[in-house]
Structure 1
Amino acid sequence: MKRSELKEFLDEKEQKYNTLDFISSDPIQIPHQFSKKEDIEISGFLAATIAWGNRKMIINNATKMVQLMDNAPHDFIMNHSEEDLSNFDGFVHRTFNAEDFKFFVKSLQNIYTNHNGLEAALHPKQEDNYKLAIHNFKKLFFEIPHLDRTLKHVSDPVKGSASKRINMFLRWMVRDNTSGVDFGIWKTHSPANLHCPLDVHTGNIARKLQILKRKQNDWKAIEELDIILREFDKNDPVKYDYALFGLGVFEKF
């Protein structure tokens, strides 16, 4: 397939899947329950954090997380007591447990109190460098006392991770909301700088389409894939996540 034909093919698939119908089967439905900016980004960050494994289980457990925060994430983050956190006991999603969840609440309180919130904390201070932005965000996230076991729940691209879940969260917050799926509420960020959330599905489809050669799903693979996707659309390269994901999950391409 010629490069121009491939772009046309992926543009068509992006338009097919980047619609409101996408929301009902995706974890992005969790932040769509809210209208307040801080509620959207906090619930979205937590849903993205546990977004691995069975999608139905992800949605169910992310819903539980919101319910445990009294369906008011920002207010809970800022005003919770230790007794409130004890209600988390017994929560588990794969390797993310109640202790991890409690720490995330405390760290988010620190971020909103001392670092101007998630939008500022994840901002790429050095032009378009989200690799460094995510790396610095992890250091900030764990600047308060924490258990070593919780470190694994925030990835670090400087150590080679594809950081799929954070890149997905960034897509949710930064991409324009024209289709009604992503939110576009982080106006200080640019969608031109986003990276494709690379997972098993998107990686396999990208290799089948020969726009990715690297075998591992790591940050080097993202940088390789970025070159082609930015060539296809320099202003909104990550829109092709819908095409690649849809081809993999819905079409078994």
Structure 2
Amino acid sequence: MNSKEIKAFLDEKVIQYNNPLFIESDPISIPKQFTCKEDIEIAGFIAATLAWGQRKAIIKSVSKIMQWMDYEPFLFIKEGEFPDLGNKAVYRTFNGEDLSYFFNSLKNIYDNHGGLEKVFADGYKISGGIKGCLKYFREVFVSVGEIGRSGKHIANVDKKSSAKRLNMFLRWMVRKDNSGVDFGIWNQIDMADLMLPLDVHTGNVGRKLGLIGRKQNDWVTVEEITSVLKQYDPEDPVKYDFALFGLGVFEKF
């Protein structure tokens, strides 16, 4: 396929998969349970953080965390009465120690930095782009104390991480359209600047379509494929996440 044919093919797949029918089987179903902005942000951030592996298992584990938070994530974080989770199993390599660190960091973010949106927006404004935004967010996130083993669960773009989960969270919060899938509740980051949440599925489909030349799924590859997607839609390049992911997961393209 030539470039025009690939764009037409992906546009068709965006329409197919950017669809509320797929919400139930996706981690975005967790924040969709809430209406308060801060509840959506916190539930979305936790759901995105655990979004690797089998989606049913992700949803089950994040639902368990929402139960621990009494289904009031923002109130739970603000009150700061966190249980001692120790090494309690949460999801795969993410355990109670990691979750405790996340709770404390989120409390610091809402108590002292204006909340999740403001931290991401401040990083975006300071740096002028998403890479700097993610770097700044990580600096604030780890400022509550030595992060230790929990550091692997917060992407470090300085080490060329693809930052799939953070980019997906930003897509959920920033991207606006009429489909009813992404929330679009953050207004301080331009969705034209969003970066593709690159994972094994989107990466493999991207390579098969000739959108990526590199073998690694790292930040350089994120920039490479997003630059191509911006040629297809400069104002909304990450809408193609739906197409690439759907082709990889549902169609085994």
Tell me the CA shift for residue 178 of structure 1. Answer: 1.5
Counterparts of 1:1-253 in structure 2, within 5 Å, are 1-81=1-81, 84-86=82-84, 90-123=88-121, 124-126=124-126, 128-253=128-253
Tell me the distance in 1 between the aligned counterparts of 2:105 and 2:227.
34
SS of the equivalent of 2:7 reads helix
Alpha-carbon deviation of 1:122? 1.1
- 5+ long unaligned stretches in structure 1: none
Structure 2 residue matching 1:51: 3-state secondary structure: coil
Q: Which moved more, 1:139-148 or 1:201-210?
A: 139-148
Distance 1:235 1:212 in 2: 21
TM-score normalised by L of structure 1: 0.96
**1:142 aligned counterpart, secondary structure:** helix
**Equivalenced residues, count:** 251
CA distance in 2, matches of 1:183, 1:154: 22
Task: Tell me how far apart the structure 2 counterparts of residues 49 and 106 of structure 1 sit (CA, whole Å).
Answer: 15
| 1:127 shift after superposition | 5.8
1:165-192 residue CA offsets vs partner (Å, 9 max, x unmatched) = 0000000000004211100000111110
Runs of at least 5 residues in structure 2 that lack an aligned partner in the other structure? none
TM superposition outliers: structure 1 runs of 4+ over 4 Å: none
| Corresponding letter in the other structure for 2:109 | I
Determine what percentage of the aligned residue pairs are the same residue: 52
CA gap of 1:193–1:128, structure 2 versus 1, over 3 A, is: farther
- CA–CA separation in structure 2 for the residues paired with 1:146 and 1:75: 25
Cα distance in 2 for residues equivalent to 1:189 and 1:30: 23
1:34·1:40 contact (CA, 8 Å) conserved in 2?
Answer: yes
Structure 1, 122-131 or 70-79: larger mean CA deviation: 122-131
Give the aligned residue type for 2:61.
N
- AA matched with 1:100: D
Q: TM (normalized to structure 2)?
A: 0.96
Secondary structure of 1:92's counterpart equals strand
